[in-house]
Amino acid sequence: MIAGAVSDEYEVMVTLTVRSPTGAEYEFDAQIDTGFDGSLTLPPAVITHLGLPWRDYGQVLIADGTEIEFDLHDGIVVWNGRPLPVLIGSADVTPLVGVALLAGYRLAVDFRPGGPVGIEPLG
């Protein structure tokens, strides 16, 4: 199970690790964003530091209706204790976990500051 907690601002947070092609690891807190249909975002400086290879461009429609283009990079996230290859979007915001990573999992949240967050496989 992946565990986390609700922040004082009611953000649903989990701690994850990303691995680079050279085996370097980066541990970080990420916010669950059920409005994001991708897998994961990381700040450009972290992507550069890890040397994640560029794959493609992506586009996202944000809440105000603006369409934004961003770089996509190949990476490996440790998900439920196992390495999982994912596309990582480059975005200069708090790292986000999208629904592509949550597919096939149950997300349980106690919505109160400090409330537990759990992500576990379905079935």
> Which residues, other chains included, contact 64 with Cβ-Cβ below 8 Å and sequence gap of 6+?
none
Cα separation values, 21 from 36, 53, 76, Å: 25, 8, 8
Structure tokens at 108: 């349980």
pLDDT in tens, 83-104: 999 999 999 989 999 999 999 9
Tens of pLDDT along 4-18?
Answer: 999 999 999 999 999
Amino acid at 111: F
Q: What is the pLDDT of residues 41-77, one digit of tens each?
A: 999 999 999 999 999 998 877 777 788 888 999 999 9
- Is 3.30.230.70 the CATH number for 2-121? no
This prediction's pTM = 0.90
